[in-house]
Structure 1
Amino acid sequence: MTEAAEATRRPPGTPCWVSLMVHSLGSTEDFYTDLFGWEYEPGPEALGPYVRALLDGKEVAGIGEMPPDRHLPVAWTTYFATDDADTTAEVIRSCGGTVAVGPLDAGVAGRLAICSDPLGAIFGIWQAETHMGTRLHGAPGTPVWNELVTQDTSTVGKFYEHVFGHEAQTHPDASADFDYLTLLLQGRPAAAVHGVGRSLPHDRGPHWMTYFEVEDADTAADQVIRLGGSIVQPPHEGQRGRLATVADPEGAVFTIVRSAN
């Protein structure tokens, strides 16, 4: 690996990439182009048809197409950086998680595995080689936050601490009605765990939620509807500003949050 590549490798445990597997790649590309202004370039096709979404020529996310005979849930997947996918996969297993796919090579881009935590939330691990992950931050159309929505934070918070070295910090406003942990890396917020108890959607179970920045959450939510998507939770004020939870035409759920700029 070159010195430049080594310098941009993310610290282990950092959310470094988000990726979506769909049934119709072309129509999904069109939806996110109209919503976020994404352009695309071919990604590593070692695992099938796949594109990298670009803003200003910089990679922000990935979209792949499932084989026609696969009928898996369509959902955004958060990937965490690792320096050694095989070792991290073993730690995941030893801590009560599951490794469903891999670890395996994605061409020369890197090495990955698809895993789930002890309560079933799916996530990925990514060992970067030529592909370092998301390269543009803090602009509309980019992923800006990753939050685990699960039953409660106690058990699963310890899992992520052990696997990725996160420090789980209870939110200052936490109470019997608000179960929330911030996962810190080197003292900085990296992600969060939100325990929602019985409010967890029955059709989805525990899941990682990707937040994408937009200039205006209300306008973007209206645009999602016009483009054939749907509203899961209308625009409202949340922990990270004004936001809405929406779904694309294939049902992949994500959150849009108003830009702070």
Structure 2
Amino acid sequence: MTEVWGSSGTGEEEGPRQASGTPCWTGLLVHDLEATKEFYGALFGWSYYDPGPRHLGPYVRATLDGRNVAGIGELPHDRQLAGSWTTYLASDDADVCAEWIHCAGGTVGVGPLAAERAGRLVLAADPAGASFGVWQGQRLLGSRPERTPGTPVWHELVTHDASVVLKFYRALFGYEAKAAGDMDGETVTLHVDGRPVASIRSAGPALRQPHWMPYFEAADVDAAAGRVTELGGRVVSAPQETPAGRVATVTDPEGSAFTLLRTAR
């Protein structure tokens, strides 16, 4: 399990809590923590620190310019789960949110539980099986408006049918949803307080496993995609132009998918 808390240290975010439903953190579960640190460090220039004692195994926070970017935790050696990125959505009340997840057809796997003095956490799956987290507490880093290379700038749920799971997420967070044309299929943009915060994209029945996809800003998507291959990862979708900017979907050496984005200026 990827934790989003720890003792106070480098890169703690300050300011008001994010609005409910806003992506506020992204974490990664892996089998080889040291190799994963090397991969993302070489790709994005991330540095790492240990946020403090925990009982669930090795864990680090990745930073850029002294600010938290993401969390990486190592799976127990006896767990054969595939590594994956997890998007955490802010909540005003994690306990109420967990109840709504049950009522709306989702599954709660962990929590609600206290994250030391930092807040409360829920790990869950939506009705289509996509895993996500719910976070209530201190401000954490979601999408970065300054578009700094190496930081998460967008989060997208890739699922079989956007219209099916849209009802689930709107019940949880009260999103305003707006349809958007997309060359790959139906896309719905989720808004909080009139501001776009995430999207849901229909990928059709051929999709193996619905999942939340983090987008990381890249100064040069083509060069970054090439670097992914050099470092042992794989390019899933070659660089291409989209209304949002130039993108390429890739995986790290363990197979965890993420998207590189050069935001349209």
- State how far apart, in whole Å, the 1-side matches of 2:76 and 2:45 are: 27
For residues 191-202 of structure 1, the aligned pairs below 5 Å read 191-200=198-207, 202=208
- 2:214 aligned counterpart, secondary structure: strand
Partner of 1:249: 253
Partner of 1:89: 98
Higher deviation after alignment, 233-242 or 220-229: 233-242
Residue type of the alignment partner of 1:194: R
Partner of 2:220: 216
Partner of 1:110: 119
- 1:197 aligned counterpart, secondary structure: coil
151, 156, 167: which one aligns with 2:160 = 151
225, 228, 231: which one aligns with 2:232 = 228
Cα shift at 1:46: 4.2
TM-score, normalised with respect to structure 1: 0.90
Cα shift at 1:15: 0.2
| 1:17 maps to 2:21 | no
Tell whether the 8 Å contact from 2:246 to 2:264 is kept in structure 1 after alignment: no
- State how far apart, in whole Å, the 2-side matches of 1:157 and 1:87 are: 19
Query: Cα–Cα, structure 1 residues 135 and 52, in superposed 2: closer, same or farther, change >3 Å?
Result: farther
Cα shift at 1:7: 3.8
187, 191, 196: which one aligns with 1:184 = 191
Tell whether the 8 Å contact from 2:23 to 2:143 is kept in structure 1 after alignment: no
Partner of 2:7: none
| 1:28 maps to 2:32 | no
TM-score, normalised with respect to structure 2: 0.89
Tell whether the 8 Å contact from 2:107 to 2:127 is kept in structure 1 after alignment: yes
Cα RMSD between the aligned structures? 2.1
- State how far apart, in whole Å, the 1-side matches of 2:169 and 2:95 are: 17
- 2:98 aligned counterpart, secondary structure: helix
Residue type of the alignment partner of 1:193: I
| Percentage of identical aligned residues | 53
238, 245, 261: which one aligns with 2:242 = 238
- 1:221 aligned counterpart, secondary structure: helix
- State how far apart, in whole Å, the 2-side matches of 1:33 and 1:91 are: 38
Partner of 1:139: 148
Partner of 1:63: 72
Consecutive unaligned residues in structure 1, runs of 5 or more:
none
- State how far apart, in whole Å, the 2-side matches of 1:56 and 1:47 are: 27
Structure having the higher helix fraction is 1
Number of residues of Structure 1 aligned to a counterpart in Structure 2? 252
- State how far apart, in whole Å, the 2-side matches of 1:25 and 1:77 are: 16
Tell whether the 8 Å contact from 2:155 to 2:199 is kept in structure 1 after alignment: yes
Consecutive unaligned residues in structure 2, runs of 5 or more:
1-12
Residue type of the alignment partner of 1:16: C
Cα shift at 1:133: 3.3
Residue type of the alignment partner of 1:155: V
